[in-house]
Amino acid sequence: MRFDADVLVVGLGCAGAAAAFEAAAAGARVIALEAAGGPGGSSALSGGEVYLGGGTDLQHACGVEDDTEQMFRYLHQALGPHPDDAKLRLYCEGSPEHYRWLVERGVPFKPSLYQGVSWLPPTEDGLMWLGENAWPFTETAVPAPRGHRPATPGSGGQLLMECLVASARGVGVEVHTDTRARGLVTDASGAVVGVRARRFGEELSYHAPAVVLSTGGFADEESMVADHVPALVGHRRVSDGRDDGSGIRLGLSVGGTVRRMSATQIALSVVPALACHGMIVNARGERFVNEDVYPGRFSQIAVLHQPGPWFTVVDEQGWEAVPEAERWGVQPLAVSEDVAELEVAAGFPAGSLAATLARYGADAAAGADRVHHKDPRWLRPLRAPYAVIDATAGFGGSGPGGASGFTLGGLRTDLDGAVLDAQERPIQGLYAAGRAASGIHGAGYVSGTSLGDGTFFGRRAGRAATR
């Protein structure tokens, strides 16, 4: 069967929905192909946090001062080393407008600031901190909270995607579900002019002068993970199970190139508030980071640079300071007044945790975390009994499985999402966005920057595809 359109969007997560909306709003006939039985992808499972700033309407409504330069400085350091400067600059400059675009698509944001530390606040607050107020970033940029969250307790990804998909359908985007793109069609000049797809065993042929690949990352494709992000092998994946890298491979098949393929988000099953009230230690029982940074940062530092397994250590006061519902079901591996007993339980060298607790206590008493610079508001000497919590045990008894992560690298694109060949020339007719592409990230990650750059550059790709 043959279908014709002006723009084909392959994969209907956040990037695809943003691209499809913009293309259709510009007057193009758009067909979106989605391999699953419905749209949403990993985006719909996500927390829904979108990293925005530079003075968004929501920041103003919460009384938060921010500007583009401070946002750029924070992200440049937090997403580094080597973020994509040009994309990042554009992203920061366009951020207030992008927030308004999300609101116009019907995404609700409540004008209140969540002051706690969490992967995912249990409230409907629209704004949250994502590590901006922690060292070393406090030395680089004026801190401002920039995590923008749809107004729903916990995960907001479903709500976000309902709004984006409804908006895309509202401007006439035709959605073909259960339809997997399997090949790109090119003309004699090498330009991409269509997609070969399959639906329930039927071969389908889609034709259009522009194709946007928005199929997500490759966390679920073991061989690609082993080739590019070996640090993730043996860990769990943060995805809908369909991040199979198919769009990246489609792009490569017509001469596209890739970038930042080793970049990865990583999460330990550490409750950030417990870590702030206590400490995180490596397999030697040593601290290695200020625990009040964005939790993906301490997770990444741990998994990539510190001997594991890793543990949260907290005392009774710290444990009680975090409401049970916000402990996400984590349980101590061991609890004891006797530090030597805990060292045996966790496999630390004898005397190591005792030394770490003594140093931490001395620093806390002096009001300054001299080596790791945790903010003084969290500092206090810990007192027995202590709990040691395995940081790889999973939340809510999900069982051991190490850390979890998703991939950040993908097709090399220009600022308008055009896929670039080895000479850095755009491949005619081919665009990519979201985790199928390489976005603003260098080696680092901050929550909200995946949905953020996916929708932001998805929009640009959708508009460029109509030109």
Ligand X SMILES: Cc1cc2nc3c(=O)[nH]c(=O)nc-3n(C[C@H](O)[C@H](O)[C@H](O)COP(=O)(O)OP(=O)(O)OC[C@H]3O[C@@H](n4cnc5c(N)ncnc54)[C@H](O)[C@@H]3O)c2cc1C
Give the binding site for ligand X (CB under 6 A): 10-16, 33-36, 40-43, 45-49, 180-181, 214-216, 238-240, 242, 246-247, 406, 434-436, 447-452, 454
Query: Residue 317: how many CB atoms within 10 A of its CB?
Result: 12
Please, what is the minimum distance in Å from the beta carbon of residue 97 to ligand X? 18
What is the rounded CA–CA span in Å between residue 467 and residue 28?
Answer: 10
Give the start-end residues of each E strand in 96-169: 110-114, 125-128, 147-148
- Helix 449-465 / helix 85-104 crossing angle, nearest 10 deg: 90
Which is nearer to ligand X, 83 or 452 (by Cβ)?
452
Percent of residues in the chain assigned helix, strand, coil, to nearest 5: 35, 20, 45
Provide the minimum distance between the beta carbon of 156 and ligand X in the complex, in angstroms, as a whole number: 7
Please report how close the Cβ of residue 287 comes to ligand X at its closest, in angstroms. 27
Contacts of 323 (CB under 8 A, 6+ apart): none
12 vs 163, beta carbon nearer ligand X: 12
Would you say 25 or 35 has its CB closer to ligand X? 35
Question: Of 247 and 309, which CB lies nearer to ligand X in the complex structure?
Answer: 247
From 304, 261, 280, select the one nearest 388 (Cα to Cα).
280
Q: Which helix or strand (DSSP H or E) is residue 438 part of?
A: none
Q: Among residues 251 and 429, whose Cβ is nearest to ligand X?
A: 251
Spatial CA neighbour of 444 closest among 413, 416, 418, 405 = 405
Give the separation between CA 318 and CA 160, rounded to whole angstroms. Answer: 34
Residues 109, 111, 115: CA angle, nearest 5 degrees: 105
Minimal distance in Å, beta carbon 239 to ligand X? Answer: 5
CA nearest 291: which of 312, 263, 260, 322? 312
Q: Which residue is nearest to ligand X (CB)?
A: 13
**For residue 203, what are the CA distances in angstroms to 178, 182, 192, 313?**
12, 10, 19, 56
Closest separation in Å from C-beta 412 to ligand X: 15
**β 179-186/147-148 pair status:** unpaired
Question: How near is the Cβ of 321 to ligand X at its closest, in Å?
Answer: 24
Which one, 148 or 287, has the nearer CB to ligand X? 148
Shortest distance in whole angstroms from residue 316 CB to ligand X: 31
The residue (of 332 and 434) whose beta carbon lies closer to ligand X is 434
Distances (CA, A) of 151 to 77, 103, 104, 146, 358: 29, 11, 15, 15, 43
**Least gap, CB of 71 to ligand X (angstroms):** 15
Nearer to ligand X, 332 or 448 (CB): 448
- Nearer residue to ligand X within complex by CB, 356 or 449: 449
Q: State the nearest-atom distance from the C-beta of 465 to ligand X, in Å.
A: 15
Report in angstroms the alpha-carbon separations of 100 from 148, 259, 290: 12, 30, 34
